[in-house]
Amino acid sequence: MGDQVAFTFLLDFFWNEVYGFMLKRTENETDTEDIAIETFAKAFDKIATYNPEFGFNTWLIAIAKNVHIDMLRKKKSSLFVDFNDEEDRQAYDVADTTPTVEDEIIKEQNLARLLLFIKELKPAYQEVIQLRYFQEMSYQEIADELEEPLNNVKIKLLRAKKLLAEIIQQKR
pLDDT greater at residue 11 or residue 99: 11
pLDDT confidence of residue 101: 72
DSSP for residue 48: G
Do 65 and 17 reside in the same domain of the chain? yes
The contacts found for 16-19 with CB under 8 angstroms, 24 or more apart, are 17/57, 17/60, 17/61, 18/57, 18/60, 18/61, 18/64
Where a domain ends, among 33, 56, 78?
78
Residue 11's nearest CA partner among 57, 54, 73, 49 is: 57
Measure the CA–CA gap between 6 and 1, rounded to whole angstroms. Answer: 9
Q: Give this prediction's pTM.
A: 0.49
CATH number, domain containing residue 124: 1.10.10.10
Do 141 and 73 reside in the same domain of the chain? no
90 occurs within a structural domain: no
pLDDT confidence of residue 94: 52
Measure the CA–CA gap between 66 and 138, rounded to whole angstroms. Answer: 25
Do 25 and 70 reside in the same domain of the chain? yes
Where a domain ends, among 63, 78, 93?
78
Do 72 and 136 reside in the same domain of the chain? no
User: Could you tell me where the DSSP H helices lie in 46-149?
Assistant: 56-79, 86-94, 101-118, 123-129, 139-146
Do 9 and 65 reside in the same domain of the chain? yes
DSSP for residue 130: I
Measure the CA–CA gap between 80 and 89, rounded to whole angstroms. Answer: 13
Predicted confidence (pLDDT) at residue 146 exceeds the cutoff of 60: yes
- What are 14-47's pLDDT values in tens digits? 999 999 999 998 888 888 988 999 898 888 888 8
CATH number, domain containing residue 64: 1.10.1740.10
- What are 72-114's pLDDT values in tens digits? 888 777 665 555 555 555 555 555 566 677 767 777 777 788 8
Do 74 and 137 reside in the same domain of the chain? no
pLDDT confidence of residue 86: 57
106 occurs within a structural domain: no
- What are 148-163's pLDDT values in tens digits? 988 888 888 888 888 8
Number of DSSP helices (H) and strands (E) in the chain, helices first: 8, 0
Number of folded domains in the chain?
2
Q: How does residue 7 score in pLDDT terms, banded at 50, 70 and 90?
A: confident
5 occurs within a structural domain: yes
Where a domain ends, among 78, 97, 121?
78
Do 62 and 121 reside in the same domain of the chain? no
Do 64 and 5 reside in the same domain of the chain? yes
pLDDT confidence of residue 79: 61
Q: Tell me which residue range forms the domain holding 164.
A: 113-171
Do 73 and 117 reside in the same domain of the chain? no
Residue 140's nearest CA partner among 63, 29, 24 is: 29
